[in-house]
Homo-oligomer: A and B are copies of this chain.
Amino acid sequence: MAADDQPAPTGPGAEQEWLAAYDPRAYAPIAVTVDVVALTLRHGSLHVLLVERGAPPYQGCRALPGGFLRAGEESLDEAAARELAEETGLLSASGAGATLCRLHLEQLGTYGAPERDPRMHVVSVAYLAFAPDLPDPQAGTDAAAAAWHPVSDLDLRPCGRSRAAGAPADTHGGGVDGRTGPCPLTLAFDHARILADGLDRVRAKLEYSPLATAFLPHDFTIPDLRAVYEAVWDEKLHPGNFHRKVLSVPGFVESTGATTERGGARGGPRARTYHAGDARLLHPALLRPTRDDPADGTAAP
């Protein structure tokens, strides 16, 4: 239930005393934040938006953009959209719909291990955002340290776990690890795991949802769409079969009747343009090429 009531059936008016009486620790030391895994496609490869931390712990490391939930003011979805706008400079002050309308935002999961932040118990609700190729977020207010990073440059191994518990940031050597810049590829807190979960989710969702169109502008071509699938899945797809399957799914794409102005960069005919249809689920699904890899864990719910 949203708030328990068995042990202390006090009246509904005195929330704070009643809460504190139930469990004093449930009152003070929990913070709720919202973190965003924002993904986009740049130059044909998947990029994620990261900020550089300016204070310990994990000073100098990259982290997912995020911040506190404003209690009583906003829902989690609204907080995620606000954080994404604030920390990136995208969608500056115009109404939340102009720039953000082509942005897909969905909840990814919640991470609440007590030791994930060495300062206090922080419960983070992670969100996943897909966007078309967006400008660099240097123009924002507190977005000076935000930038797009290729996900292939990041270290997503389960190394982000043991560090948050013990010594904060200098177990790694203080920036001397043979790469450029301080902690260039390591993510703060458990953000490596959050990002890995987000990537698993995206890869799975492309199979049965039309979400790939969220990475593209309003009008796109079938080869554009195929490039999204190839970048996210990191696999080459058969152009002919992909074309056939996309057009055979009802409601996935709708033809605009037009074609591109020019052919491809290295030749080829002009492609027909499409825009996203009204389907929410793909029937039949676009399944990944069968890989005999036995298993990753509980991926993609």
Contacts and interface: CB of A to CB of B under 8 A. Distances in A.
Contact of A32 (B10, B12, B30, B53): B30
Given A26-B70, A68-B26, A298-B280, A191 B32 contact: no
B301 A301 contact: yes
Interface of A: 1-7, 9-12, 15-16, 19, 22-23, 25-33, 35, 51, 53-57, 63-76, 79, 87, 106-107, 109-114, 116-125, 142, 168, 188-191, 201, 204-205, 209, 279-281, 283, 290, 295-301
13 contacts: A1-B63, A1-B65, A2-B35, A4-B68, A5-B55, A12-B56, A25-B73, A26-B70, A27-B28, A72-B114, A75-B114, A107-B109, A123-B123
Given A25-B72, A112-B69, A112-B76, A33 B4 contact: yes
Interface centre among A2, A12, A51, A189 (most CB of B within 10 A): A2
Kindly report how many copies of this chain are found in the complex they form together: 2
Nearest to A117: B2
Contact of A30 (B69, B168, B298): B69
A137 to B, nearest CB: 13
Contact of A31 (B3, B125, B204, B296): B3
